[in-house]
Amino acid sequence: MYKIRVDDGLIKHICNLSMLELNDREFPEFREQLQKILDYMSMLDEVDTENVPPMFGGIECPPLMRMDIPFESLSRSQVLQNAPAEKEGLFEIPKVIE
Amino acid sequence: MDISKLGIFEIKNLLLKRKICCVELTKLYLERAHKLNPILNAFITIADESAILDARRSDENIQKNIDSIRPLEGVPIAIKDIFVTQNLRTTCGSKILANFIPPYDATVVKRLKDSGAVIFGKLNMDEFAMGSSNENSYFGPVKNPFSPDRTPGGSSGGSAAAVAAGLTPASIGTDTGGSIRQPAAFCGIIGMKPSYGRVSRYGMIAFASSLDQAGPMCRSVRDCAILLESIAGNDPKDSTTMTTPVPHYSEWLAGDPSDIRLGVLKEGYYEGINPEVLKAYLRVVELFAKHNVPIVEIELPHIKYAVAVYYIIATSEASSNLARYDGVRYGHRSEDYRNLKDMYKKTRMEGFGDEVKRRILLGTFALSSGYYDAFFRKASQVRRLIANDFYRAFSKVTTILMPVTPDVAFRLGERVSDPLSMYLSDIFTIPVNLAGLPSISMPAGLNRDNLPIGVQFIGKPFDEHSLLNVAAFYERESSCMEILSRVSL
């Protein structure tokens, strides 16, 4: 892990990837805080991890599959009950095709 | 009747001996919640109507069939607001879910209800369980019942404060990096994080899926056993829950010290921690030694990297899990947008608080092209080294003893502006989650300002029953739960 410089370009890039917008207070504040946090994380550089397989899960067993038995799922009205906007039994979003 | 000092076991006795009925009891808890919530801010939602209906059903069940009633029949329990509850608002401490009414129950909730529990409220927490002080809740911080200017800890701070102040006899919290054990330690109660894979995560709003685990927060070890028995076990809806049989935990409370070999870290690991915390921890070591429990020095050479590893892995998983909040299917949607992409961005900007945004950014960065190997993959490799350290230690000992936190409950506002210092306070709880181990946090006395100190016992994977035996032994020999008599609300 080399030294990462957290600049405005990097923050804009990750904001775009994560669909976030930051306000005028957050932008410089987060840039500074993320720099400090990433500097701290660079301590992992000193650990020799050659030939160490990564551990991605909390337990390392293959996921247990359930039997493929159909059961009742939520009704359409239950699925839509929290929708910010719905139309004709579907979720409604702003038009995406010009 | 004074309900403020009652746990589940005492309540079950009262109900079975017909000293009180479920409806009356539930009304007392509802009244107490309404009366004290303006002081503690422990509840986000109080479920007056549904609780009374459920309590009435429990009364009927007890009336009909006193000999075979369910293990939690009629026991009022408030739970962390991270578990979805059918037709009862579930916010996860966030503005983005402030009006979310789930159409189904989490498995934990279903199992509590199937055991007869009366769910009467949803407890405050850091937004999406991200925080160590409860100050990240959209619904405002919770106060510590031992000292209202202090944090109750987080993220299950509402649960810890409510149990300590007798607003609920027990609670269920969740622990991703210490979120059950740290608030339990700050509020003088018992908090147990089971092994990863022990309790279903279905319907538990996801933060970091390879670390999240639900567990009991209680006033006695016996209550922990009763609650864990009800919620643990394989769930076809969560493919990471194991089929390992669930023992009758209540039968493991003899507190027999004969098989315990207690692992302790060399003192060098505790440089810089609060001397009063260290002293309390050493008193616990002495107590075990006095009862001829072998004390074995162990090494966990990689735990110093745990905070860095955790805040890469947990934020990466969070950045992916929280992508679902887009204002389309549920939750807050911004009213001011130009097109779909703008709607996503504004919705998330308005709906998430600072800490959640910070973690999404950090996680997105760690997973992004060009940085994945250096951050996420590297952290996952060091995670294995941390887990291996524990496995090696467990070849010599049955249980490991550690402090829960380097310090006692800090003042509200003290660390808000410095996220890194907040993260560093999780140094003793995080390694346990990374390795997927069970751990139970127990009180170890008060400091000179009458603030609780906690220690944790860590066990082998899926060995919760042995851990409960150790905790029962410690609880009996130390009288540690007496500190709760200091809370008077």
Q: pLDDT of B397-450, one tens digit each? A: 999 999 999 999 999 999 988 999 899 999 999 999 999 999 999 999 999 999
Res. B81 pLDDT band, cuts 50 70 90? very high
* Fold designation for B8-254+473-486: Amidase signature (AS) enzymes (3.90.1300)
Contacts with B, A 33-72, CB within 8 Å? 33-34, 36-38, 40-41, 43-44, 47, 49, 52-59, 61, 63-67
Averaged pLDDT, B124-138: 97
B240 vs A4, A44, A59: nearest CB: A59
* Any A CB within 8 A of B324 CB: no
Q: Phi and psi for B153 in degrees, rounded to 5?
A: 90, 180
- Is B137 catalytic? The answer is no
- Is B58 catalytic? The answer is no
pLDDT for res A58: 86
Number of CB atoms found within 10 A of residue B487's CB: 19
Our CA-based measurement puts residue B418 at a distance from the nearest CA of chain A, in whole angstroms, of 8
- What pLDDT, in 10s, does the model give residues B351-378? 999 999 999 999 999 999 999 999 999 9
- What pLDDT, in 10s, does the model give residues B204-235? 999 999 999 999 999 999 999 999 999 999 99
DSSP letter at B92 equals T
- What pLDDT, in 10s, does the model give residues A16-66? 999 999 999 999 999 999 999 999 999 999 999 999 999 999 888 777 788
Res. A2 pLDDT band, cuts 50 70 90? low
Cβ atoms of B332 and B350 closer than 8 Å: yes
The pTM of the whole model exceeds 0.90: yes
Cβ atoms of B278 and B286 closer than 8 Å: no
Averaged pLDDT, B167-196: 98
Q: Which residue has the tokens 């999240």?
A: B212
Cβ atoms of B107 and B238 closer than 8 Å: yes
Averaged pLDDT, A85-94: 96
- Sign of the alpha-carbon dihedral angle for B335, B336, B338, B343: negative
DSSP letter at A81 equals T
* DSSP per-residue string spanning B376-444: IIHHHHHHHHHHHHHHHHTTT-SEEEEES-SSSPPBTTSSTT-HHHHHHTTTTTHHHHHHT--EEEEEE
Cβ atoms of B225 and B259 closer than 8 Å: no
pLDDT for res B46: 98
Our CA-based measurement puts residue B449 at a distance from the nearest CA of chain A, in whole angstroms, of 32
Q: Which residue has the tokens 């066990």?
A: B459
E-assigned strands of chain A? 86-87, 90-91
Cβ atoms of B435 and B302 closer than 8 Å: no
* DSSP per-residue string spanning B294-337: -EEEE--TTGGGHHHHHHHHHHHHHHHHGGG-SSSSSS---S--
- Is B179 catalytic? The answer is yes
Q: Which residue of B has its CA nearest to A85?
A: B328
Is residue B66's pLDDT more than 80? no
A–B interface: beta-carbon pairs under 8 A: 171
What is the domain partition of chain B in residue ranges? 8-254+473-486
Query: How far lies B373's CA from each of A29, B302, B384, in Å?
Result: 27, 20, 15
Write the burial class of residue B408 (CB in 10 Å: 0-12 exposed, 13-18 middle, 19+ buried): buried
Cβ atoms of B125 and B154 closer than 8 Å: yes
Residue B193, H or E segment: strand B190-193
Query: How far lies B437's CA from each of B48, B216, B366, in Å?
Result: 37, 15, 25
Helix ranges (DSSP H) in B83-187: 107-114, 157-164, 181-187
* Any A CB within 8 A of B416 CB: no
Res. B488 pLDDT band, cuts 50 70 90? confident
Q: Which residues pair with B446 in a beta bridge?
A: B452
pLDDT for res A67: 87
Chain B neighbors of A79, CB-CB under 8 A: 103, 329
CATH of A8-46, one of 1.10.287, 1.10.20, 1.10.3470, 3.40.50: 1.10.20
Is residue B346's pLDDT more than 60? yes
Please give the Cα distance from B121 to B303 (Å, whole number).
Answer: 37
pLDDT, chain B, mean: 97
Cβ atoms of B428 and B405 closer than 8 Å: yes
Sheet architecture: strand order including B76-80? B43-46, B118-123, B76-80
Averaged pLDDT, B262-286: 95
Is there a contact between A93 and B340 if contact means CB atoms under 8 Å apart? yes
Please give the Cα distance from B399 to B295 (Å, whole number).
Answer: 10
